[in-house]
Structure 1
Amino acid sequence: MKYDVVVVGGRLGGSTSSLFASKGGLDVLMIEKRQEIGTPVQCAEATTNETFNILEIEPSPKYLCTDIKGVDFYAPSGKHFRVKGNNMYGFMEGYVLERKIFDKQLAIESAKAGTDIMVKTTVKELIRKDGNVCGVVAKHLGKTVEIKADIVIAADGLESNIARMAGLKTVNKTEDIASCAQYEMVGMDIDPNYLQIHHGAKIAPGGYLWIFPKGDGVANIGLGVINSKETAIYHLNKFIKKFDATPVELNIGGVPLAGPMEKTYSSGLMVVGDAAGQVDPMNGAGIQNTVKCGRIAGEVAVEAIENEDTSSKYLKKYEDQWRSAIGKTLETSLRYQKIFQNLKDDDFNVLAEFLEGKNVESISKLSILKFLKNYPHLITLLFNVFILKQ
């Protein structure tokens, strides 16, 4: 077999890359190791309105669970405050999705654009010629197949095998990966239009817990922990005891929080999504970033094939463009993620006490300085993380 582009991974990054490469007229094959695209669920399923602008598709009621208008932040003390709209760094208006349906629908859109798809297929090695990646060797339903391609796009998730095969540095340190667990639960009495974020060393050490409503009393309840003595599922099981609700699904996994790889391309290869570390380090969100970078990878692939140049020098365009689009945001997020990791429960309690019941947009600089004069390390967070419109 011979294609212009082979995309390894059939989730968001892979389907988006395939979609835009196919729209550009390329012959594209997308390979997915699982027998069904979209399962298991690998995130809390919330994203922003901008995701659909990037994809150039209209959101569909097929996979939209509920509209999100803002976030309720809870301190260990139980005090909480609400941030509406797009005023909290990293959290914006949008939707909670049914990812099983959304991911598959995006793959369907890619197929409609011309992408060939092979499920239940695992890449065993890369094909190289004169140092350039030019295809893959894969196992499909028990048979080994050689698939040649001018470009390979690696969208194969955390600890990408493809990037590592290509010689790119992909190894994350243990302390850079949040261990996550999530239940989908039925019988939750919560506001269907607001996400909940809970902080506290006893709730989610080094991370946070989320409750994302999906409508009709259904919600995702999950958490991520870093360097915790106990497992993520231990902390999650402890937290959900307070609810009279029933779990109907459990998902466990990891999220890279160290920021992107140093280099996300080589001759004949580009790396996208979790595989490239393009996840927001502060909140773990990855859907919008992944589709943005996936689109860039697909469009750069089109340009490279048209110009008959798939060299490392040419494909650097991909890295230049995605870093221009989200690089500064990821750097800022990583900086504040490190600050948040060092906050104590008392710090979160002080923030919640100050912000509870207030309209975040209307808080004056003077009132911040007056209240937090004994907590100078929190002033920076209020001015920069909570994007106050002064």
Structure 2
Amino acid sequence: MNKIKYDAVVVGGRIGGSTASLFASKNGLDVLMIEKNQEIGTPVQCAEATSSSTFKTLEMEPSSKYVCNEIKGADIYAPDGTHGHLEGGYAEGFILERKLFDKQLAIESAKAGTDIMVKTTVKDLIRRNGQICGVVAKHMGHTIEVEADLVIAADGIESRISKMAGLKTHQSPQSLCSCAQYEMVGVECDPHYLQFYFGEKIAPGGYVWIFPKGDGIANVGVGVRSDTETAYSFLKKFTSTMDATPVELNMGGVPVYGPVKKTYTDSLMVVGDAAGQVEPFTGGGIHVTAQCARIAGEVAAEAIEKENTSGNFLKKYEKLWQKEVGKDLKQSLKYRKIMDQLTDKEMNIVAEFLIEQDLESISKMAVLGFVRDYPQFLKLLKDIL
């Protein structure tokens, strides 16, 4: 059995893994990143939209190499077709080509000094005297022991590494949104605006999206929480009336009920989907994962420098990411839970009210008038405030 030694081993080579590796390497660590697939970036399990803050976090510039399109806003459709428009602000950003972006991020990490092993699967954690001190991996038929002072788990939903370490990262059916997406050619839509469609008939417990990539190409997807039909069946229904051709199908799950309770233990930290670091309301996770994974990489470097990888030290990681994004995730979860309570009829009523308001400076009188006319929304309003 081959044995190798690193300061830190990162399991998973997507945005969470590559970002943690990048900033751990930038801060002087000897890092190995392990990816189970033979190519970083595939298969795609993402709608590919992100905000400009992602690039600030990563200290990268948006590039035509991996940015398909710039987004200026969004159009939102209630179940009855009531249409609201958002311009700028949170709705601004980019559509990425994740196959290229993820690989470029791994390349940046490699340039910073990270070693990378693809087509490699972690089979177990190495423990000595109860302490995690690396991983056992299988690479091209060969078993390898990777000794490391620290492990970062970036291995996605239902993280096996976290479970091996004794952390509770289990996602229930209620907390997961099942998603299916086509990349389609011949989609007629404004190339700089996202589209969102809500309604029990088209996407129970979620929504349909159309994210334009330019030149008539768009990601058309649906996320649902349904016991009766698959996300793919809802996708087929929605796209059946579109005069467009699918060229790619991707499916996966997204955690939409907030972060897991604990994202660290002795000698291990958890990042990205594995940690539930996703906005519950939108299901968007690129910018959140980038922020949290950068913190993990920087805390890893500090822990190794101080020769202290105990959970007592690594809790600093959780404190820092909670300080940076925790409040936003809690607020997003609150909106998710409120949305879950609304019927289609109630969504239509809320949408009709909101499109008549200036959302930046909505007046108390307008809100009081709305509650007077629709007292059933009083509790929901209290929950928001």
Same fold (TM over 0.5): yes
- Give yes or no for the alignment of 1:27 onto 2:19: no
Per the normalisation by structure 1, the TM-score is 0.94
For the structure 1 residues 120 and 375, does the alpha-carbon distance in structure 2 shift closer, same or farther, using more than 3 Å as the test?
same
Q: Using the alignment, how far apart are the partners of 1:360 and 1:193 within structure 2? A: 21
The answer to whether the 8 Å contact 2:288/2:325 transfers is: yes
Q: Which structure 1 segments of 5+ residues have no match?
A: none
Supply the distance in 2 between the matched residues of 1:96 and 1:358 (Cα, whole angstroms): 28
State how 1:1-390 maps to structure 2 within 5 Å.
1-86=4-89, 91-356=90-355, 359-361=358-360, 363-376=362-375, 378=377
Query: Structure 2: which amino acid aligns with 1:109?
Result: E
The one-letter amino acid paired with 1:36 is E
Amino acid across the alignment from 1:320: K
Paired residue type of 1:185: M
The letter of the residue matching 1:21 is: A
One-letter amino acid of the structure 2 residue matched with residue 300 of structure 1 = V
User: Could you tell me how far apart the structure 1 residues matched to 2:66 and 2:26 are?
Assistant: 23
Q: Which runs of 4 or more aligned residues in structure 1 lie more than 4 Å from their structure 2 counterparts after TM superposition?
A: 376-385
More off after superposition, 371-380 vs 110-119: 371-380
Q: How far apart are the structure 2 equivalents of 1:148 and 1:324?
A: 32
User: CA–CA distance in 1 between the matches of 2:83 and 2:49?
Assistant: 21
Q: What's the offset of the Cα at 1:384?
A: 8.9
User: 2 CA distance for matches of 1:312 and 1:383?
Assistant: 38
Q: Which runs of 5+ in 2 are unaligned?
A: none
The CA distance in 1 between the partners of 2:73 and 2:383, in whole Å, is: 18
Q: CA offsets per residue over residues 247-292 of structure 1, 9 Å max, x none?
A: 1110111111121111111111000000011111111010001000
With the length of structure 2 as denominator, give the TM-score of the two structures: 0.95
CA pair 286-376 structure 1, distance change in 2 beyond 3 A: farther
Asked whether the 8 Å contact 1:266–1:315 carries over to 2, the reply is: yes
**Is the Cα–Cα contact under 8 Å of residues 334 and 383 in structure 2 kept in the other structure?**
no
SS of match in other structure, 1:360 = coil
User: What is the percent sequence identity of the aligned residues?
Assistant: 63
Instruction: Tell me if structure 2 keeps the 8 A contact 1:131–1:267.
Output: no
Give CA-to-partner distance per residue, 1:202-253, whole Å, 9 cap, x none: 0101111111111111111111111341111111110112210001110111
- Give 3-state SS (helix, strand or coil) of 1:2's partner: strand
Query: What is the CA RMSD across the aligned residues, in angstroms?
Result: 1.7
- 2:362 & 2:382 partners in 1: Cα distance? 10
CA distance in 1, matches of 2:383, 2:246: 37
8 Å CA contact 1:175–1:227 kept in 2: the answer is no
- Pairwise CA distance, 1:317: 0.7
Paired AA for residue 201 in structure 1: E
Distance 2:337 2:358 in 1: 26
Counterpart-to-counterpart distance in 2, 1:26 and 1:143: 26
Q: Secondary structure at the match of 2:108?
A: helix
Q: Is the 8 A contact 1:82 1:357 kept in 2?
A: no
- In the alignment, the residues of structure 2 paired with residue 382 and residue 189 of structure 1 have an alpha-carbon distance, to the nearest angstrom, of 37
Q: Is the 8 A contact 1:179 1:253 kept in 2?
A: yes
